[in-house]
Structure 1
Amino acid sequence: MSPDRAVLERAIDEGEREGGRVEFKERLTKDLHLSEGRLESLAAQLRHRVLSGDGTATYVIGITDDGGIAGISPDAFSESMDVLSILADEADAHIEDAQTWGVDGDGLVGVATISEGSVMTDDEHIVVGTAGHVDHGKSTLVGSLVTGQRDDGQGGTRSYLDVKPHEIERGLSADLSYGVYGFDEDGPVRMDNPHRKGDRASVVEEADRLVSFVDTVGHEPWLRTTIRGLVGQKIDYGLLTVAADDGPTQTTREHLGILLATDLPTIVAITKVDLVEDDRVATVEREVERLLREADRTPLSVARHGAEAAREEISETVVPIVATSAVTGQGLETLDDFFENLPKTEDPRRSEPFQMYVDRTYSVTGVGAVASGTIRSGELEAGDELLLGPMPDGRFRDVEVRSIEMHYHRVDKASAGRIVGIALKGVDEEEIERGMVLLPRTADPSPVREFEAEVMVLNHPTRIGSGYEPVVHLETISEAAAFYPENEQLLPGDTGTATVRFKFRPYLIEEGQRFVFREGQSKGVGTVTSLDPDA
């Protein structure tokens, strides 16, 4: 008997009993179990099981009332999980985990762990992408924020982040953040020691609002939309650190350029102000202001205008600057105030037709192929008929939405900005690739191999000439492409027009989309200006 199977056997051995936490259900159907009166009764039953289990209940699906393994079809199991999710939501609980096993051909039996409390919605969770030159105090600053502890001057709080972050387990693993804290009605909810998984879990459980930090530097690439693909989250704000004893560097310029090029509302934190005199801090702040103005952004000094004004004005064009010290604590309350009150960034594409770039794929027993990603626009409902592609030959495949899941939580529909896993009928998991797109069946997509773009070279050792082949990162697409500058060359700092051609296959892109290109130490940003579907 495998360890996984032991979970099922233990639940069956424990059995259903009055005042127990285990419940057997052979099958749950929407027509019967969600009918008027029945839903309330079953939700109350579920709530009783959760309370009996001190906050956790175990539901075994595909089991008869006397504990016999019956097994149900994959479609029946999927519907049962949909119904169970709705019942859990009605009982102020959520599905924390689910495991399935095959029995008698294509039959399934599963164990679902139900936990007390609703799933935190994306509206209550902001994600902050951090950037900055090495040794400019980025990790130390975040370490102090998430623990509330002052640094020892030697980067001690940075060590709290030198751990592997918690993972999302659903057929794949992904780093959600490298630091997390939250807020409740009494203020910040922090971790005593992030090395203890229980501390991290308690923050998520206790906080009404959650803030995750994602270290953008070092990821390949570290563009907003690609980080979103790596961690399954949409980055809401950028936090750029500039050390007061060093000032802006070439790396600072590159990182600022990418943050701003992706229209990410950004905060600049001048760190290590305890190491220098006030006039040096003022000098560095003026240098940062000059960089922002060169990028057509409006700097807003917290020291001169106050935290409230900065919080109200921050946008894609207005960038607050705050002086901080992880040693003395200067500026940390201001950052707490920002992260407690800044709104989740809105997606203006919510009213447009559905579109989602595929970020990850996996397969779930009894469910089949699952494509995960962030819904870029529109809304999606279970049962919707979609197109998936382009395939390597440029064509699209007809698929159907079997079910939708957010953080183990089955939902009937989801809208723009939500991070979801979509179970698909009509395609095998190995046929789905990162960078593909899901669209309504009525769409008429035209994938391209070649497009025109306005590009800016942030860093390159020499000149970029015709045939230069970096990797282009656009939404979840990561593909080698050849560049052909209009004037046959681009130098560092130049902005110009170039023809860009994907090297291996076509993709669905559109005018106005922004991208990053990288090759070794070379970095640049660009915007798609026109498409060539015939190339």
Structure 2
Amino acid sequence: MDALLDLFGSPPAKSSHVTTSLSSNLPPEVEQGNIEYKLKLLNPSSSRFEHLVTQMKWRLREGRGEAIYEIGVADNGLLLGLSQNDLDSSLDTLIRMANKLGATVTVLQRKCVSSDPHQRFVVEALVRKVPDDQLFLDLRLAVLGNVDAGKSTLLGVLTQGELDNGRGKARLNLFRHLHEIQSGRTSSISHGILGFNSEGKVVNYAVCGSAEEICASCNKLITFIDLAGHEKYLKTTVFGLTAHRPDAVMLVISASNGVANTTKEHFSFAIALGMRTFVVITKVDMCQEHTTTKVVEQVQQLLSSYKKVSQPVKSDEDVLTAAQNFSDDKVVPIFMVSSLTGYNLEQLQSFLNSIPLRQFTAELEDKQLQQSPEFQVDEIYSVPDTGTVVGGILTCGIIREGDRVKVGPVEIDSKAVFIDTVVSSIHRNRAPCLVVKAGQTATLALKGVEKSYLRKGMVVLDRKHQCDKLANTCKEFEADMCIVCHDGACIKSGLQGTVYVAGTMQTAIIREIKGKESLGQGDNGHVVFKLVKQSEFLKVGSRVLFNKGRTKATGQVTKLRTT
């Protein structure tokens, strides 16, 4: 891995990792996105240099702080290459451009594209800049898989920096309850963090003594959301996918057990929610090669059933290709690792460092920041000397310490109301901060609110917009739905199941399917849902997931029925 990731602290020409096996070209360059092709960057004039810096700033914004530069590549994707001297000069220019923006440059790969009559090279470089209002780039990764697949053990090894002892030592730090330690099975939603510094090196608890030190030492942070694998905790797992809004999914499969029914179910939820996914096959140290080959074939068969393309990762070059292709949700990388011996863990770490953040257009990000704040409550705590604290994600707007807000809806005398409160303090990744912005997770201390009044699925809103927000509180809503998976039974009026909308998880009844008696596999329909228990804060356009047994339907809210 040291040869794979070279920081440009020393002259770029000293990089020793040269690959000679590669395709003849890349796809043509596109204006959108965070990938930029440059044939050469040789001694640009001052005006040209400023233009290049502005262009880099745009690519970084498109990639939310990360950009990939392909040096020696024409705009049409042809790998023409540069001589060693021209390549060194172009890399020097790239570093000066990055320095102008306060960014860092890391060589991901150096390729020899021609040796006749002289060697010509292309270089792939990662440019990374943490936004001025953030300590690091943050990527949330949900971890799915069947019980005993080795999810918590793998996360323990990655976050603690120590290999497992074969008896589950590595996973103990992720468990939250005594019965989880005793059974070795996750039943709740737990979190772990793994950082990478500007050189692409791992920052975990083996390097730093606390989460605060990890956050202060890294410029990219992976937050793992460890979800339960046992079928009886399925609702908790799906809630973690919908409420915690991960950027991607890591599907963990045991080489000794293969693809189980729960594995298929978890993958179907990830597909239904449109989440990018990669597969990690664990416990390869326990199996013969023919066994692991069979498991890989099972995984490829599962992926092909959803029209996904598998990409087994076997080399350092495969890692970089997988990271680039990960933005295309049709490609699913497959890693094979061992938490006991450490086999291929460096490849997985390199992929996590290179994996692109979920991309949004600059216009969409600006629009989210300008909207009235909406904070989705996923966790509730009672902290001594602080009071009630809620954890979750800010879906839009900005919340500052001291803001006057409302939390709800709370049903009092059969009426949905919001409780006035004040944000007394804010924490992100266990460190205090003054501001949280759209897309960021945080915990908010709410002044004067009893914990007993609150529940998961509530929202914290700007107090000034109370009247507008109450219009979003309802028990009935309409949605355009599509059946993505079923067990042979059709969806009909009167059917009762679990509905997930953002941070809301509640039992719901299908009141009506407009114009149709039932819906089967692949059918689309306009469905009216009624929540069984209490009113919830919903929004038109929110993604809906309905689950009943093996039957799943996904869609969008189209209308709220308020009373």
Name the TM-score, length of structure 1 as normaliser. Answer: 0.61
Q: Aligned pair 1:322/2:334, yes or no? A: yes
- SS in structure 2 of the partner of residue 390 of structure 1: strand
Cα distance 1:271–1:510, how it changes in 2: closer, same or farther (>3 A)?
Answer: same
Identity rate, percent: 24
Cα distance 1:149–1:254, how it changes in 2: closer, same or farther (>3 A)?
Answer: same
Q: Aligned pair 1:510/2:529, yes or no? A: no
2:533 maps to amino acid: F
Q: Aligned pair 1:389/2:408, yes or no? A: yes
> Are 1:178 and 1:213, in contact at CA under 8 Å, matched by a contact in 2?
yes
Q: Which residue of 1 aligns with 2:110?
A: none
> Are 2:174 and 2:190, in contact at CA under 8 Å, matched by a contact in 1?
no
Aligned counterparts of 2:152 and 2:298: Cα–Cα separation in 1 = 23
Q: Which residue of 2 aligns with 1:500?
A: 529
- SS in structure 1 of the partner of residue 442 of structure 2: strand
Q: Aligned pair 1:255/2:274, yes or no? A: no
**Candidates 411, 429, 437, aligned match of 1:415:** 437
Q: Aligned pair 1:216/2:227, yes or no? A: yes
2:266 maps to amino acid: H
Cα distance 1:130–1:485, how it changes in 2: closer, same or farther (>3 A)?
Answer: farther
Aligned counterparts of 2:453 and 2:533: Cα–Cα separation in 1 = 16
Alpha-carbon shift at residue 240 of structure 1 (Å)? 0.6
- SS in structure 2 of the partner of residue 263 of structure 1: coil
- SS in structure 2 of the partner of residue 470 of structure 1: strand
Aligned counterparts of 2:160 and 2:519: Cα–Cα separation in 1 = 46
- SS in structure 1 of the partner of residue 327 of structure 2: coil
> Are 2:387 and 2:446, in contact at CA under 8 Å, matched by a contact in 1?
yes
Q: Which residue of 2 aligns with 1:448?
A: 474
> Are 1:404 and 1:423, in contact at CA under 8 Å, matched by a contact in 2?
yes
Per-residue deviation, residues 417-466 of structure 1 (Å, max 9, x unmatched)? 22334455686554444322233423623223222331536465955543
> Are 1:437 and 1:508, in contact at CA under 8 Å, matched by a contact in 2?
yes
> Are 2:152 and 2:174, in contact at CA under 8 Å, matched by a contact in 1?
no
- Superposition pairs of residues 3-402 of structure 1, within 5 angstroms: 123-147=136-160, 155-156=166-167, 158-163=168-173, 165=175, 177=190, 179-184=192-197, 185=199, 187-190=201-204, 209-218=220-229, 219=233, 221-223=235-237, 226=240, 235-244=246-255, 246-274=257-285, 281=292, 284-303=295-314, 306-315=318-327, 317-326=329-338, 329-345=342-358, 348=364, 350-353=368-371, 354-361=373-380, 370-382=389-401, 384-392=403-411, 393=414, 395-397=416-418, 399=420, 401-402=422-423
> Are 1:389 and 1:396, in contact at CA under 8 Å, matched by a contact in 2?
yes
Aligned-residue RMSD, C-alpha: 4.2
> Are 1:375 and 1:418, in contact at CA under 8 Å, matched by a contact in 2?
yes
Unaligned runs of 5+ in 2: 1-132, 178-186
> Are 2:174 and 2:192, in contact at CA under 8 Å, matched by a contact in 1?
no
> Are 1:146 and 1:179, in contact at CA under 8 Å, matched by a contact in 2?
yes
Aligned counterparts of 1:472 and 1:122: Cα–Cα separation in 2 = 36
> Are 1:457 and 1:490, in contact at CA under 8 Å, matched by a contact in 2?
no
Q: Which residue of 2 aligns with 1:405?
A: 426
Q: Aligned pair 1:466/2:493, yes or no? A: yes
Cα distance 1:267–1:430, how it changes in 2: closer, same or farther (>3 A)?
Answer: same
Alpha-carbon shift at residue 501 of structure 1 (Å)? 1.0
Would you say how many aligned residue pairs link Structure 1 and Structure 2? Answer: 399
Alpha-carbon shift at residue 377 of structure 1 (Å)? 1.0
Alpha-carbon shift at residue 511 of structure 1 (Å)? 3.4
Aligned counterparts of 1:515 and 1:278: Cα–Cα separation in 2 = 42
Alpha-carbon shift at residue 357 of structure 1 (Å)? 1.9
2:369 maps to amino acid: S
Aligned counterparts of 1:255 and 1:175: Cα–Cα separation in 2 = 16
> Are 1:189 and 1:206, in contact at CA under 8 Å, matched by a contact in 2?
yes
Alpha-carbon shift at residue 221 of structure 1 (Å)? 2.7
Alpha-carbon shift at residue 524 of structure 1 (Å)? 2.9
Name the TM-score, length of structure 2 as normaliser. Answer: 0.58
> Are 2:477 and 2:559, in contact at CA under 8 Å, matched by a contact in 1?
yes
Aligned counterparts of 1:132 and 1:455: Cα–Cα separation in 2 = 25
Aligned counterparts of 2:211 and 2:176: Cα–Cα separation in 1 = 8
Q: Aligned pair 1:438/2:438, yes or no? A: no
Cα distance 1:404–1:204, how it changes in 2: closer, same or farther (>3 A)?
Answer: closer
